[in-house]
Amino acid sequence: MVWIDVLMYVVYVLAIVAILAAIGFSILQFGGNIKNSKFTLFGLLGLVVIFLISYLLSSGTDIGPELFEKTGSNYGSSKVIGAGMYTCYALIGIAVLSIVFTEIVRPFKK
């Protein structure tokens, strides 16, 4: 049983190292090509804007009171959960609309 505990800590350390390496190499690659990096920044900024709009639209009543008591959550976490749901819906809607738009416009470009 002791080996399982030790191996779990090894897995935690390796996961943290992998996450830090992924973030570090992303930053190195990002800084290496500034011209293409601006599109990445625009994409991240767009995601942040969509999440902020979703957060503002979220009512905080997406979870029933009985689930609040059961999970020990509060109004703030319910608002974040609602914002996550609205963000997901918005991104799915944008993806579907972009696919439909592309399929409609493609024949006219030829």
pLDDT digits (tens, 9 = 90+) for 64-76: 777 777 777 777 7
Paired tokens of 53: 């709009």
Q: Whole-number mean pLDDT of the chain?
A: 86
DSSP secondary structure code for residue 73 in this structure = -
**How confident is the model at residue 63, as a pLDDT?**
67
Beta carbons of 60 and 83 less than 8 angstroms apart: no
Query: Tokens representing 62?
Result: 């997406």
pLDDT at 108: 86
pLDDT at position 1 is 62
pLDDT digits (tens, 9 = 90+) for 39-53: 878 888 999 999 999
pLDDT of residue 98: 96
C-alpha closest to that of 83 among 41, 49, 43, 40? 49
With a cut of 70, which residues of the chain have pLDDT below it? Answer: 1, 62-63
Residue 93, pLDDT score? 97
Share of the chain above pLDDT 70, in %: 93
